[in-house]
Structure 1
Amino acid sequence: MFDMVSRWYKRRFSDPHAVSLVAILLVGFVTIYFFGNLIAPLLVAIVLAYLLEWPVSKLTQLGIPRTLSVVVALLTFFSLALIALFGLVPTIWTQVGNLVNDIPNMYNGLQHTLVELPKKYPELASFEIVESLVTNAKNQMISVGESVVKGSLASLVSLATLAVYLILVPLLVFFLLKDKQEMIAMASGMLPRNRKLATKVWDEMNEQISNYIRGKVMEILIVGGVSYVTFAILDLRYSALLAVLVGFSVLIPYIGAAAVTVPVAMVGLFQWGLSSEFYYLLIAYGIIQALDGNVLVPILFSEAVNLHPVAIIVAVLVFGGLWGFWGVFFAIPLATLVKAVWNALPGLDEGESAPAAD
């Protein structure tokens, strides 16, 4: 066993370029794991810089100086973001307030439905089970209420953090875009000289991350927009709030779509009951999710979808547990990175057989 591990180690890490690649990855992992909260504004700025690099490059190709291209792209992006923010936030805030006011009625309706189940279907439900479900639902409602109170108290800290982000992030994005080549050259000077494999992996991942971020933003906008139009046509309550939830649910592959199904179904059930409108809602929502997973995702992420669904879910769980939101957001690129690093590390040449054990 020891000989087998020793041979594997020599095959994979006898090359100094492979050692440099692993060392760079370990330093990056430790930095983000222990200092992720401190450098969060930088991470946000890097994501936005990747997102805006495409329009900046297009403007530069038209002969516009890069600094002016960066200014135009930033002003356009943040103007559209502010318009969307001030147009969407009041509506969502109003719907959140209406939803909070309706929660007691929704709970009473759910309780009444559960109580009626033993009468309608005595062979499927008993009063003891229903009583247990009602008690658990009541405890959950109390827990949610306590969480809302704690969240409102913590919102002051969140507002202060948001104010810092609103100042630092645009400045960081500006300099990351304006001085891109200088910063890459400076970072390259700090890396080991034996970095052929690291450069190979970087060239592959840099393009993939850029495409992934642009594709993920487009997916959020398309899925959220289509969901809002669908919910509005069906006259579903809290359509804007639910559409935002559906849009952002695509950040978590597979798990997000399953989780957001619950509030959509609950609101529809409370509004219409087990009527034809409720089933139309479920059918329409199912079609949106099917088109997203089978049409939109393969188009936007043609390379990433080569990963097996189990690998993607494991990546979400592992990297989300390590780095929270950023781990979930970059779960697919990180899984692709692991695959690229494994393929880049030196191994047995094709046709070469492993030496026999002593």
Structure 2
Amino acid sequence: MLEIFNKWYRRYLFEEESVLLLVLLFVSVLMLMTIGDILAPLLASIVLAYLMQGVANQLTSHGVPQWLGVSLAFLIFVGAFFWISLGLLPLVWRQFASLAAEMPRMLEQGKQLLSVLPEQYPQIISQQQLNQLVGAAQAEFAGLGQAVVTRSLATISSLFTVMVYMVLIPIMVFFFLKDRELILDWFGTFLPSERPLLRRIWGEMNVQVANYARGKVLEILIVGSVSYAAFAWMGLNYAALLALLVGLSVIIPYVGAALVTLPVVAVGFFQWGFISEFYYLVLVYFVIQGLDGNVLVPMLFSEAVNLHPIAIIMAILFFGGIWGLWGVFFAIPLATLIKAIINAWPDPVPDVPEPTPEAEALP
């Protein structure tokens, strides 16, 4: 067993940099599993600074001085950050609380619609089973409404923490933008002076993740804005909440669109029933999803993140399991990192058999 391990070590870990890379990966995964929630504001600031660095680079490429490009990018970020924090999120929260309070009525209406099932299909479901199912659902959603109210009151005590984060995140984003090179050089002092493997991985990650992150933010903004405009124009209740869900659903490929379809269709059905407005809503929603998947995504991403769908789903399951919502958000960049490591890993050294005494005796 020890000989097998030694052979594997000589084939794949023959460079000092390879061992260092494995140690860094192990420490990173351990930190995500243990203190990932504590590091979430820091990581969010790094991602936001990474996005705004692209804006600063674009301004600099058009002749704007670097300091002015960084300042303008930061001002754009601050404006968007506080508009979302103080304008959009409170509106969405109010609509969510209203929807949670209305859930019991929707369930009662759904029960009346489903009451014909025991008569038509008694071998599948009985009236007692239907009552138990609806009763359990009503209890769950009643508890959800109570939880929303309780959470609203509980957030008053944690308002100080929210305010601290609202101050800390813009400050960290500013310094990550301003001192980007200084911070990278400082991290470089802990690494070997000669690090071709890490440089190859960084080069591939810098291109792919930058394109992915900026493209994904644009996709969220475009899909969310178009959905809100369509829902508000049609008079759909909770338009801001549903549009936010549709916009955020693009973070989870393949799964997000399927999950968010249910609340959109359910709200439309309980608001209008089976009339023309409901069918128009379903048509508009699927047109938005179709344009997103077949037009917007190819335009924004092209081959920026060339991952197989199975690899994407496995990344979502794995990183979401160890890091929760943040893991789902960062699943594709982390999967891209793993792909970059595999592509940049040194070719294994072939096993060379030791010479036998007979071979040494040959002229």
Same fold (TM over 0.5): yes
The farther-off stretch of 136-145 and 260-269 is 136-145
Q: Which residue of 1 aligns with 2:181?
A: 181
- Contact 1:249–1:260 (CA under 8 A) maintained in structure 2: yes
- Contact 1:237–1:267 (CA under 8 A) maintained in structure 2: yes
Q: Following superposition of structure 1 onto structure 2, how do residues 1-358 of structure 1 map, counting pairs within 5 Å? A: 6-83=6-83, 86-89=86-89, 91-119=91-119, 125-303=125-303, 305-348=305-348
- Contact 2:100–2:148 (CA under 8 A) maintained in structure 1: no
What are the superposed Cα offsets for residues 248-304 of structure 1, whole Å, 9 maximum, x if unpaired? 122222222222112111111101223333233223222222222233223322335
Q: How many residues are paired up?
A: 354
Letter paired with 1:240: A
**SS at 2:73 equivalent:** helix
- Contact 1:231–1:239 (CA under 8 A) maintained in structure 2: yes
TM-superposed deviation, 1:2: 7.2
**CA RMSD of superposed structures (Å):** 2.7
Q: Which residue of 1 aligns with 2:359?
A: none
What CA distance in whole angstroms lies between the structure 2 residues aligned with 1:215 and 1:242? 22
TM-superposed deviation, 1:89: 4.5
Q: TM-score, normalised by structure 2?
A: 0.87
TM-superposed deviation, 1:163: 0.8
What CA distance in whole angstroms lies between the structure 2 residues aligned with 1:305 and 1:140? 40
Flag structure 1 segments of 5+ consecutive residues without an equivalent.
none
Cα separation, partners in 2 of 1:124 and 1:232, compared to 1, 3 Å: farther
**SS at 1:347 equivalent:** coil
What CA distance in whole angstroms lies between the structure 1 residues aligned with 2:97 and 2:29? 41
What are the superposed Cα offsets for residues 295-329 of structure 1, whole Å, 9 maximum, x if unpaired? 32233223355312121111011111112222111
Letter paired with 1:234: M
Cα separation, partners in 2 of 1:113 and 1:42, compared to 1, 3 Å: same
- Contact 1:17–1:197 (CA under 8 A) maintained in structure 2: yes
Letter paired with 1:128: Q
What are the superposed Cα offsets for residues 124-170 of structure 1, whole Å, 9 maximum, x if unpaired? 64323322321221232233134324422431354222211121111
Cα separation, partners in 2 of 1:142 and 1:89, compared to 1, 3 Å: closer
What are the superposed Cα offsets for residues 81-123 of structure 1, whole Å, 9 maximum, x if unpaired? 4345555346435533542443332122112112233346657
What CA distance in whole angstroms lies between the structure 2 residues aligned with 1:169 and 1:73? 15
What CA distance in whole angstroms lies between the structure 2 residues aligned with 1:300 and 1:266? 31
What CA distance in whole angstroms lies between the structure 2 residues aligned with 1:98 and 1:34? 36
TM-superposed deviation, 1:200: 0.9
- Contact 1:20–1:192 (CA under 8 A) maintained in structure 2: no
Flag structure 2 segments of 5+ consecutive residues without an equivalent.
354-363
TM-superposed deviation, 1:38: 2.8
Q: What percentage of aligned pairs have identical amino acids?
A: 49
Letter paired with 1:215: G
Letter paired with 1:340: A
What are the superposed Cα offsets for residues 49-100 of structure 1, whole Å, 9 maximum, x if unpaired? 1111122123334454433332222112222443455553464355335424
Q: If you compute each CA radius of gyration, which structure gives the higher value, 1 or 2?
A: 2
